[in-house]
Structure formats: structure tokens, C-alpha cells
Amino acid sequence: MKRIYCLFFFLILLCFFSLSGCKGKKQESKPEVVSEVVKAKSVTIGNETALLLKDLKENGDYVNSKAYPSLIKASIVKESLGKNILIVDMRPQKQFSEGHIKGAVNKKFEDIPAYFETGIKPFEFDKIIMVSDDGQISSYTTCLLRLMGYGNVYSMRWGMSAWNKNFAQESWLKGVSGKYESNLENKGNERPTDLVLPELKTGLQTGTEIGAARFHELFKEGADNILITAADVFSDPQKYYVINLDRKDKYEDGHVPGAVRYKPEGTLGYPEEMGSIPVNKPVVVYCATGHNSAFATAYLRFFGYDAHTLKYGNNGFMYDKMVKQRTALSWLPFTTAEVNDFETVK
């Protein structure tokens, strides 16, 4: 009997120590979770900025949709002539009068908001095609219009340079260059660690009102400060925060000194990504052709960044390298193959 009591007592002690051991393990795991929470950095977002982000998200999140970027080939525009489309040519009046696409209307950059709001009924058209000389200003404009809900607006890829060789000779064919290929770097550059978004101060109460105010303000500022040349950037790269929107392998093969790579998708509209872009320094965005970067630049300026798109993209400073590695890295250098021989009217 005494032996049974001893065995019973031993089992009770064993259970007690087993339970104590389990509790100890739970207590040891807690500090790891807490430390992870402490290390996670939050993004500083002002109230108006948060309202605008929320409004855009709820209304389709254009920059992360399948419709982004909204580009259309010149050949598709040509096939659509005579159908229910509208072509808005944003070039200076002198260039427009020297030759334009049949049926196109000529509008200044600053006049675009009023034209869409009171000059036409935009949704009566199947497509509205924005056109500029090289396609970058029209891409910038198209992004802003899309953010305002004009879902039938497109930018013609390569601009009028793709329509006729006469325009290409004065724009893209003149603008491509390999001048700064020897200045490229291959090392990766880190993003800033402080996460903050620009603070908008329109004084308005809803995301829709704030967006409309920013839309009108950006057109009022004009188009002179949107583009930046390779000569400006390479003369003092450290003056700017340079954003590269290429694939990783392309970025690693050579990029603007100091450039930081961001993914073409999954950056815009994401506070934890956008928050690493400095709010107190000029920002230069570039891609292979300048089209995607023009869309991205519009979105960043919409949120208050001092952003600029690099004219002609990689084509403007490493063109020869792009031609040589066209197959290996799937580069898109502008060549005469992109130029059509479509008719223009005066």
C-alpha cells in the first residue's frame, strides 16, 4: 500500500513539473512577438493624404488596375478614325497647324480640365486619345484624367513620332542618345528608412474634393516643369532622388548613379512603398521609354511630391547599350520600325 501511495505522489509531481514547463514556454515566446511589433515602422500620413488614398482605393485603384498604364498604339488609332473617338492634340498651335491627325482638336495643357468638364461630354466617346510630340506629356495628362474617373482616356504611345517620320525626326529620332553610358553604375542603392508621405493642405473635407483640387492645381501649374533631361540629371545625380522603374536584371546591368529601384507595380498607392520617397527633395522617375514614368510622375505629383519624368527614359542616355542588348534584356529602344507613314492634315 505504501508503495502505491509513493507511486501516486510521484505521478502528481511529474504532472506539476510538466505543466510548469508548458507555461514557461509560452512566456518565453511573448517577447519575440512584442519585439517584432516594436521594430515595425509606421508611415506618417496626414489626414488629407489618408482621405485621398482611401477615395482612390474605393474608386478602382487605377494605378494598380489592369488598365494602367493606358497606352494605345498609333496603328489602333489609325484603324479607329471615322469611328466614335476623339483625338486631343496637346502640342503647340504652330506644330498642330503644320500637320495633325484628321479630326483632332488642339488644346493647351492648362485648358484640359475645363474642356473635359464643360467643353465636351467625355463619356459619349468610346475612346479619347491624348496626343503629344513624344507621348510623355500625354501620358502624364492621361493618368490625371483617369484618376478623375475618365476611364475611356488613352495616351498614344511614342506620340506623333509614331504617326509619321516627319514628326519622329524632330522628336524621338533626335532625342535618343548613348551619351552617358559610361556614367552608369551597377551597385544597388538602399531606400531611406524614414517613412512619410507629403502632407496635403487643401482645407477640404473629403477625398473626392481633395482629389479634384489637386487635379486642377496641377494643370494650373503648367507642363514646363514635368520633364527633365538626362543632361540635367547626370550633371548632378545627387541633387535628385532618382527612381528606377525597370526590371531587377535591367537595373543591375546599369542605372543612373544613386538610382533606387521600385517595382513598376505595387508601389503607387501603397503608403509603405511611397513613404520611402523623400518629400523634401526633387524626385526623378525613369523607365525605358518615359511613358510609364510619366504616369507614375503624375500620381506622385498628385500627392504633392516634386516629381519629374526623365525625357525619353533610358533611350535618352543609354540608347546604344539598349540596342545591343535588345534581345538579351528585352529592351525597347525607339527605332524607325516604330514609325508609321500615316497621313496628316493641315
- For residue 233, the domain's CATH number is 3.40.250.10
Residues 304 and 222 in one domain: yes
- Residue 28 belongs to some domain of the structure: no
Residues 142 and 197 in one domain: no
Indicate the pLDDT class of residue 97, thresholds 50, 70 and 90: very high
- Residue 138's domain spans which residues? 62-174
Residues in the chain: 346
Residues 144 and 224 in one domain: no
Number of domain units in the chain: 2
- Residue 288 belongs to some domain of the structure: yes
Q: At residue 276, does pLDDT exceed 70?
A: yes
Q: At residue 7, does pLDDT exceed 90?
A: no
Tens-place pLDDT, residues 126-183? 999 999 999 999 999 999 999 999 999 999 999 999 999 999 999 999 999 999 999 9
- Residue 108 belongs to some domain of the structure: yes
- Residue 43 belongs to some domain of the structure: no
- Residue 163 belongs to some domain of the structure: yes
Residues 157 and 234 in one domain: no
Residues 104 and 129 in one domain: yes
Residues 232 and 271 in one domain: yes
- Residue 21 belongs to some domain of the structure: no
Residues 190 and 324 in one domain: yes
